[in-house]
């Protein structure tokens, strides 16, 4: 740990303020190059506690940067995680206000809901499949607070892994009989196909991502609790969206998620 408690608290307020008021900031490591990964997660967990103190509920978790292509593109060595607050959450058919965001992008994801706790370290894909109550289709709206989405991994972690909004729809299904690795998705914006993908884009299998989350949380003594809703990571590349855009993502076996930016 390189940053003291007062600096962690200051940076948590800095990131959260940029998120709530939708303005750009420069990456934290420009001013604090000594920041460690532990500091970065301390900033995220402090911002999370501040949200709860203001009366918000934390309703889930997300994994980010889970594809080899995206890690390579962003020049980062590992995936990261973040939390989902109540006001991030939207249902199928939603209208999301574009003006409340900075430069949003959309990604198709499979969401997991757990029926048992997952406790890392040592958690593996089999533990995840056994602990999964159901999966559902979701679309994550990411909105890095960093100018032009320019960041390094530590700065992204402090910024809650770019969490912003997410939309859940389609059908809830047990993982029994579903091959999440080959499950296909088609993303359309304003009726035009913009992305195709399959579940294997997420660390080879989306459940691997959930195991990694449990193991990363385990390093901090945190447990991924039964009932948690988790976005497992992007199946498609993230696509920039504008005001007025209609987004529809069709998931094989799981139905469709549609919404609009207004």
Q: Which is nearer to ligand 0L1, 104 or 119 (CB)?
A: 104
CB contact at 8 A, 96 and 165: yes
Only segment of 5-13, 36-44, 133-141, 216-224 that touches Mg ion (CB under 5 A): 133-141
Contact call for residues 47 and 160 (beta carbons, < 8 A) = yes
Cα 73-63-247 angle, rounded to 5 deg: 75
Nearer to ligand 0L1, 41 or 119 (CB): 41
Minimum distance between the CB of residue 231 and ligand 0L1, rounded to whole angstroms? 7
253 Cβ contact partners less than 8 Å away, ≥ 6 residues apart: 173, 178, 183
Selected from 16, 42, 107, 245, the binder of Mg ion by CB under 5 A is: 107
Burial class (CB in 10 A: 0-12, 13-18, 19+), 205: buried
CB of 161 to ligand 0L1, least distance (A): 5
Q: Which residues in this chain contact ligand 0L1 in the complex, by CB under 6 A?
A: 64-65, 140, 142, 144, 149, 156, 161-162, 233-234, 238
Is-cis flag, bond preceding 121, omega within 30? yes
Three-state DSSP state, 72: helix
Shortest distance in whole angstroms from residue 149 CB to ligand 0L1: 6
C-alpha dihedral, 65 to 226 to 204 to 219, nearest 10°: 60
Minimum Å gap between C-beta 156 and ligand 0L1 is 5
CB of 105 to Mg ion, least distance (A): 9
Query: Residue from 16, 42, 140, 245 that binds Mg ion (CB under 5 A)?
Result: 140
Binding partner of 108, given Mg ion, ligand 0L1, none, CB within 5-8 angstroms per partner class: none
**Distances 174 to 48, 188, 233 between C-alpha atoms, Å:** 30, 26, 19
Structure tokens given for 209: 């991502």
> Closest CB to ligand 0L1 belongs to which residue?
64
Pick 60 or 119: Cβ nearer ligand 0L1: 60
> In the structure encoding, which two tokens stand for residue 221, read together?
């003594």
| Selected range binding Mg ion among 46-54, 77-85, 104-112, 144-152, rule: CB under 5 A | 104-112
Overall residue count recorded for the chain in this entry: 262
Closer by beta carbon to ligand 0L1, 119 or else 238? 238
Residues of this chain that interact with Mg ion (CB under 5 A) are 107, 140, 234
């Amino acid at each position: 740990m390189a940053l003291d408690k007062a600096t962690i608290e200051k940076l948590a307020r800095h990131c959260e303020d940029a998120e709530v008021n939708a303005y750009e900031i420069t990456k934290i490591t420009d001013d604090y190059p000594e920041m460690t990964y532990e500091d970065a997660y301390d900033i995220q967990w402090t911002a999370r506690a501040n949200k709860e103190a203001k009366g918000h509920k934390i309703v889930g978790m997300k994994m980010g940067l889970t594809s080899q292509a995206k890690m390579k593109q962003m020049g980062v060595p590992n995936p990261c995680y973040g939390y989902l607050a109540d006001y991030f959450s939207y249902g199928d058919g939603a209208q999301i206000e574009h003006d409340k965001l900075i430069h949003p992008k959309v990604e198709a994801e499979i969401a997991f809901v757990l029926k048992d706790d997952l406790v890392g370290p040592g958690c593996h894909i089999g533990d995840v499949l056994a602990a999964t109550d159901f999966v559902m289709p979701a679309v994550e709206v990411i909105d890095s607070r960093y100018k032009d989405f320019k960041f390094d991994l530590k700065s992204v972690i402090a910024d809650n892994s770019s969490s912003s909004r997410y939309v859940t729809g389609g059908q809830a299904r047990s993982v029994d009989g579903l091959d999440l690795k080959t499950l296909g998705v088609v993303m359309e914006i304003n009726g035009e196909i913009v992305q195709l993908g399959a579940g294997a884009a997420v660390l080879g299998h989306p459940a691997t991502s959930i195991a990694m989350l449990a193991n990363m949380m385990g390093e901090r003594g945190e447990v991924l609790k039964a009932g948690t809703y988790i976005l497992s990571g992007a199946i498609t590349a993230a696509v920039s969206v504008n005001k007025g855009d209609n987004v529809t993502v069709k998931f094989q076996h799981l139905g469709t998620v549609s919404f609009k930016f207004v």
